[in-house]
Amino acid sequence: MSRTLRLDPILIQAVIAGSLSFAHLHDIAAGAGQDGWKAWAYPISVDLLLVAAWRRMRALHAAKQAARAAWTWFIIALAASLGANVATAGLLDMHRVPAVLRILVAGWPAVAFLGGTLLAHTPQAATPAPAPAPVDELPAPVAPPAQPAPVTTDRAPAPVPELPPAAPAPAPPASPAVTVPAALVAHARKLADAHHTTTGHPIDTDTLCARLGVPPALADAIAAQLA
């Protein structure tokens, strides 16, 4: 499949303008005494410095960095090119070039070399590293679910058949008095109040013994002080 060659008007315009500027720079260099290949090297040097400064400016702007040095060399190269175009418009006798212009043309290689070197070796600022992501806060501790209160029923107890009265059992020997600490009594009172609030019944000795983890004799003594 054949491809049609399309000419870009902007590209054509750039080639024409570049050729004219190239020729004007050559004529200025030749009129200032730079003959032969040296006269052709001057326009190449000016155009290369102009392009290098422009590319450097674009790179610095893309990196969000200052481009003052690149702008300086771009203006210098643009002034050299524009000055040559204006000087060859009949304002200057190319056979009698002023001494100042000869000095500028002779000193241009050193200026262009310095500008190209600085543009090529100017270090770029390091890109700052991204800040670390914030660490999520630890979740608040979840309270354990409250235990449901025991369900009590109001059913009446089943009737117990009456048994014949048994012979009275002999009285157990009197046990020595048990001393209960006041702190233990206060703790037992809190447990008894909580049990009464939850069930609606006073706490019995067996439950008190299980809650406190004490012997039955000590539980009886505590229950006696709670009564």
State residue 189's pLDDT score: 81
> CA gyration radius for the chain?
54
Per-residue pLDDT of 18-77, as tens digits, reads 788 788 788 888 888 888 888 888 888 888 888 888 988 888 888 888 888 889 988 998
| Tokens read off for 25 | 């720079």
pLDDT reading at 201 higher than 70: yes
More confident: 142 or 11: 11
| All structural domains of the chain with their residue ranges | 9-121, 182-226
Residues 6 or more apart whose CB falls under 8 angstroms from that of 48 comprise 112, 116
Q: In this predicted structure, what is the pLDDT of residue 174?
A: 47
Most confident of 46-55, 99-108, 186-195: 46-55
Q: What is the pLDDT of residue 1?
A: 47
- Among left, alpha and beta (phi > 0; psi -120 to 50; other), residue 157 is beta
Write out pLDDT tens, residues 143-189.
666 666 555 555 555 666 666 666 666 655 544 566 777 777 777 78
Mean pLDDT, the chain, as a whole number? 75
pLDDT in the model for residue 128: 52
Q: Distance between CA atoms of 170 and 185, rounded to whole angstroms?
A: 31
For residue 68, how many other CB atoms are within 10 A of its CB?
8
**Is pLDDT above 50 for 14?**
yes
